[in-house]
């Protein structure tokens, strides 16, 4: 799986985060809230 970040460079905020399944090429939704929780742990 490949992690993709969509970032607003001017405001330096993360707009969207999702995984791309490299086998199927499909986007796997992964919310910003879940990402922040995973960082804190």
Q: Is the pLDDT of residue 35 over 70?
A: no
How much is the average pLDDT of 21-31? 79
Q: Is the pLDDT of residue 27 over 70?
A: yes
* Rounded CA separation 23/34 (Å): 23
Question: Would you list the domain boundaries of the chain?
Answer: 2-40
How is residue 9 annotated by DSSP? T
pLDDT band at 9 (very low <50, low <70, confident <90, very high): confident
Q: Is the pLDDT of residue 19 over 70?
A: yes
The dihedrals phi and psi of 37, each to the nearest 5 degrees, come to: -60, -40
pLDDT band at 32 (very low <50, low <70, confident <90, very high): low
**Helix (H) / strand (E) containing 36:** helix 32-40
Position 30 scores a pLDDT of: 65
């Amino acid at each position: 799986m490949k992690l993709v970040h969509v970032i607003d460079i001017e405001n330096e905020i993360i707009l969207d985060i999702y995984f791309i399944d490299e086998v199927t090429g499909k986007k796997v939704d992964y919310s910003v809230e879940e990402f922040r929780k995973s960082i804190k742990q």
